[in-house]
């Protein structure tokens, strides 16, 4: 068991969530409970699962939480594409968020390998 706030991957994932919230502030009102809500929920699920994993007793349990976080990251990847294609944010914002997400995913993959070793 460890303090999740000390994990670099959690810090990057948390920063990503803050960026997602900022990017979705001006979404259309009719999306309040639609894609905006879903994107935010899936985004904050990533650092949430990292925090949960850090509180688990074994590396194997932590790894399971990482797998779930990776699934949420895949959902976020699609939702970012959808939001761009719906015109809710442009190519530049999409690229920024996607690049951040890729970095988080790579860190989670590396961390997962470390836990397995």
- Which CATH fold topology does 4-116 show? de novo design (two linked rop proteins) (1.20.1440)
| pTM for this model (two decimals) | 0.94
**Predicted confidence (pLDDT) per residue in 3-61, tens digit:** 999 999 999 999 999 999 999 999 999 998 999 999 999 999 999 999 999 999 999 99
Residue 38, CA distances (Å) to 20, 59, 95 in order: 11, 29, 19
The number of beta carbons lying within 10 Å of the beta carbon of residue 29 is 7
Strand ranges in the chain using DSSP code E only, listed in sequence order: none
Separation between Cα atoms, residue 6 and residue 57, nearest integer Å:
17
Residues 80-90, mean pLDDT to the nearest whole number:
96
């Amino acid at each position: 068991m460890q303090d999740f706030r000390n994990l670099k991957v959690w810090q990057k994932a948390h920063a990503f969530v803050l960026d997602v919230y900022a990017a979705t502030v001006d979404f259309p009102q009719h999306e309040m409970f639609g894609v905006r809500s879903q994107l935010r929920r899936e985004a904050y699920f990533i650092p949430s699962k990292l925090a949960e994993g850090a509180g688990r007793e074994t590396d194997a349990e932590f790894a399971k939480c990482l797998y779930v976080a990776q699934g949420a990251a895949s959902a976020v990847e699609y939702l970012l594409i959808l939001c761009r294609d719906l015109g809710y944010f442009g190519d530049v914002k999409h690229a920024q968020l996607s690049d951040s997400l890729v970095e988080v995913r790579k860190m989670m993959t590396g961390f997962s390998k470390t836990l397995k070793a």
